Amino acid sequence: MHRILLFFGLFFFSFLSLKAQVMPTRAQWITIKSDNLKCWECKERLEKYLISENESTLDNGILQRRYNLISGEIRIQYSSDRVQPDMIRTVINNAGFDADNQKAEEDAYKLLPPICKRAEDGGGPQKGKPCHLEPNH
């Protein structure tokens, strides 16, 4: 009788510990400021890069993205068991964009179109020409 109880006890304990290991972590949100993410063209460029890197480098850890081009921010929902905020910032830097206080990777930044450069480099919205909305085709 003791062996049966011991067997069921071990089985139950193993089941609980397995279930604890399989349970996913809760999704987290982070808002990242980027001074050179003000136009729809820049958003499209970064979005394409994030999709590619999410599938390869980030183990599909980015779940959602929301852009605010007027304030130059991207809000990202991510799975904290797959990716960390610094990894996300690095990927954004590698695409040529600043991420919070981290400057873009130099070579990638040089490849950006002029509109996606920092304001001090002549990029971003020009006076009287808003660029945060995609033009109608």
- Confidence band (pLDDT; 50, 70, 90) for 80? very high
- Give the mean pLDDT of the chain: 84
CB atoms within 10 A of CB 41: 15
Chain-centre distance for alpha carbon 69 = 15
Q: Which domains does the chain have, with CATH numbers?
A: 27-120 (3.30.70.100)
What is the rounded CA–CA span in Å between residue 118 and residue 125?
A: 10
pLDDT at 5: 46
DSSP secondary structure code for residue 57 in this structure? T
Residue 22 has pLDDT above 70, yes or no: no
What pTM was estimated for this model as a whole? 0.77
Length of the chain in terms of residues written: 137
For residue 6, pLDDT over 50 is answered with no
